[in-house]
């Protein structure tokens, strides 16, 4: 069983700066652009699933500055960027200063209607549509149309930190048209507050399963029509590791496509996430045999 996994969302120039606050006076934050990396959830999805043997495509926008900045996919050797989806503005930028009391900064390179038309006209039929979230309302709207118009593909909703930008009706629509949703504990708490429901009630909206990842505590899985269960993390790494959530999603997709069973998919997700966490890299080289073996105890 083969088919394309379509990874939808925003490509980013990401900078996580480790400066700390020096005193209470106002000062200029000096950031070295050489420390920034190109990435984003769509890239993480195609990187991991390419290694797991699935044909992939990114339905993701980027600016001229990103050309040549993404390495070839590890298994297929293919250039992940689609030239016809390059926008006129620069690639979106995310600046994060965890050591300073200030919010993250997101600099958005706007998408024109014509550019969106070009992207989604070429979406095509897919085995999986994995939406990694977007801070562009227009892209979210087009993605929702795509999810609602195609009942055949496996539809995955994993919005990450972009979830806080969505309205109630928008979130409700995405959950109602998704087969699987994957969020972390903070995002789950936000959804519960938005809908005035508990976590189990929110996750019950999904057609196949809702998953809440909990860092070193593993993941809570809510299969549709069945009892929820918990899987412990096997990484041995404490805290929130960047890229581990996307790795879990890719393992879950792989396990579900192969076994059509939520428990097996979740076990694969836990193993792929553990490999990513232990490596310390967002895009790590996976031990595919070990990931596949994890599906069955």
By the 8 A CB rule, do 278 and 290 touch?
Answer: no
Instruction: Collect the ranges in the chain with pLDDT lower than 70.
Output: 1-2, 21-26, 239-241
Q: The pTM is what?
A: 0.92
- In DSSP notation, 116-151 reads HHHHHHT----SEEEE---S-HHHHHHHHHHHHH--
Tell me the two tokens of residue 19. 């400066």
Tell me the two tokens of residue 270. 């836990």
The reported pLDDT for the residue numbered 26 is 66
The reported pLDDT for the residue numbered 12 is 92
Tell me the two tokens of residue 87. 């926008």
Superfamily (CATH H level) for 5-9+40-63+71-87+111-293 = Ribokinase (3.40.1190.20)
The reported pLDDT for the residue numbered 240 is 67
The reported pLDDT for the residue numbered 1 is 47
By the 8 A CB rule, do 252 and 130 touch?
Answer: no
Each residue's pLDDT tens digit, 5-51 = 999 999 999 887 777 766 556 677 777 777 788 999 999 999 999 99
- Length of the chain equals 297
With b for 16 or more beta-carbon neighbours within 10 A and e for fewer, the 268-277 pattern comes to bbbbbbbbbb
The reported pLDDT for the residue numbered 172 is 97
How many helices (DSSP H) and strands (DSSP E) are in the chain? 9, 12
């Amino acid at each position: 069983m083969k088919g394309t996994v379509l990874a939808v969302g925003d490509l980013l120039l990401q900078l996580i700066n480790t400066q700390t606050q020096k005193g209470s006076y106002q000062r200029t934050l000096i950031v070295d652009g050489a420390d920034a990396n190109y990435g984003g959830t769509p890239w993480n999805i195609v990187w991991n699933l390419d290694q797991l043997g699935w044909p992939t495509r990114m339905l993701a926008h980027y600016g001229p500055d990103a050309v040549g900045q993404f390495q070839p996919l590890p298994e297929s050797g293919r250039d992940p960027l689609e030239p016809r989806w390059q926008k006129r503005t620069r690639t979106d930028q995310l600046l994060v200063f965890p050591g300073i009391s200030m919010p993250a900064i997101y600099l958005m390179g706007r998408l024109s209607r014509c550019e969106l038309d070009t992207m989604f006209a070429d979406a095509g039929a897919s085995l999986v549509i994995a939406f990694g979230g977007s801070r562009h309302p227009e892209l979210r709207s087009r993605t929702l149309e795509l999810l609602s118009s195609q009942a055949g593909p496996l539809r995955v909703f994993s919005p990450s930190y972009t979830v806080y930008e969505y309205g109630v009706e928008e979130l409700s629509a995405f959950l109602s048209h998704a087969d699987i949703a994957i969020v972390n504990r903070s995002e789950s708490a936000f959804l519960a507050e938005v809908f005035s429901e508990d976590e189990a009630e929110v996750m019950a909206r999904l057609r196949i399963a809702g998953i809440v990842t909990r860092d070193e505590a593993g993941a809570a899985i809510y299969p549709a029509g069945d009892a929820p269960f918990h899987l412990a993390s096997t990484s041995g790494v404490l805290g929130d590791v960047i890229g581990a959530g996307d790795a879990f999603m890719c393992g879950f997709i792989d396990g579900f496509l192969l076994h059509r069973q939520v428990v097996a998919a979740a076990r694969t997700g836990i193993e792929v996430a553990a490999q990513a966490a232990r490596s310390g890299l967002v895009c790590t080289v996976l031990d595919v045999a070990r990931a596949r073996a994890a599906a069955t105890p």
